[in-house]
Amino acid sequence: MAPVATTFFFYFLSALTVLSGVLVITRKNPVHSALALIMSLLGQAALYLMLYAPFVAGVQIILYAGGIMVLFLFVIMLVNIEKSQKEEQFNKQWLVGLAAAIALGALFVFVYAKGRGLFPDRAVQMPEQSNTQQVAVLLYGNYMFAFEIASLLLLVAVIGAVVMAKKRI
C-alpha cells in the first residue's frame, strides 16, 4: 500500500516522541515519567512502522511498552516515592552534566550538517508482508549464534534479578 501523508505523520510522531522524552526527564513523580516514557515508546513504534519494520514495531510495543514498563511501575510501587519527591530532584553537578550533553548535541549537529550527503536516500522498497519471515530467516540463519548468546544473556539476567531481589543476599 502506498504511504499516505508521510510528512505529517513523521513530524507528528517525532514531536510526540521527543516531547514525551522531555517529560520523562523533567517530571518529579516517577509514575508520570513512566507514563510519558510509554507515550514515547509508542510513538517510536509508529515510526518503526513508517520505516517498514512492522516486526520491530510489534516487539517494541509488546516487550517495551508491555513488559519493561510494567517492571518499572512495579518497582516504583515498591520503593517509597513520597519521600524522594520532597527532595531535590537534580544532583549537584547538574550544570556540568547539562553542558556535557549540550556539547554532545552540538557534535551531532556538526556531524549531520557536515555529512549530509553521506546518508543515501535510495530507500529500498521492502515488502512488508514478508518482513517477519525475512527477519526470522536472518535471526535463525546468519545470527543463530548471537541468538543463542542472547538467550543465555536473558537466563543470566533472570538469575541475577532473582538473586538481587532476595531477602538476604
Partner 1 sequence: MAPISTLHYLVVAAALFVLGVIGVLTRRNVVIVLMSIELILNAVNLNLVAFSRIWGLHGQVFAIFVITDAAAEAAVGLGILIAFFRNKETVNVDEIDLLKW
**Closest distance to partner 1 from the beta carbon of 132 (Å):** 10
Q: Does 79 bind partner 1 (CB under 8 A)?
A: yes
Residue indicated by cell numbers 523533567: 26
**Which residue from 12, 66, 126, 148 is in contact with partner 1, where contact means CB under 8 A?**
126
Q: Does 129 bind partner 1 (CB under 8 A)?
A: no
7-26: contacts with partner 1 (CB under 8 A): 7, 10, 14, 17-18, 21-22, 24-25
Q: Does 108 bind partner 1 (CB under 8 A)?
A: yes
**Which residue from 12, 66, 68, 110 is in contact with partner 1, where contact means CB under 8 A?**
68
Between the alpha carbon of residue 149 and those of residues 132, 136, 160, 165, the distances in Å are: 21, 16, 16, 24
Q: Does 139 bind partner 1 (CB under 8 A)?
A: yes
Can you tell me the distance from the alpha carbon of 7 to that of 29, in angstroms, rounded to the nearest whole number?
34
Q: Does 56 bind partner 1 (CB under 8 A)?
A: yes
**Which residue from 12, 63, 66, 128 is in contact with partner 1, where contact means CB under 8 A?**
63
Q: Tell me the three state secondary structure of residue 14.
A: helix
Can you tell me the distance from the alpha carbon of 169 to that of 167, in angstroms, rounded to the nearest whole number?
6
CB atoms closer than 10 angstroms to residue 36: 19
Q: Does 80 bind partner 1 (CB under 8 A)?
A: yes
**Closest distance to partner 1 from the beta carbon of 2 (Å):** 13
Between the alpha carbon of residue 92 and those of residues 45, 81, 108, the distances in Å are: 35, 20, 26
Can you tell me the distance from the alpha carbon of 52 to that of 122, in angstroms, rounded to the nearest whole number?
14
User: With respect to partner 1, which residue has the nearer C-beta, 2 or 122?
Assistant: 122
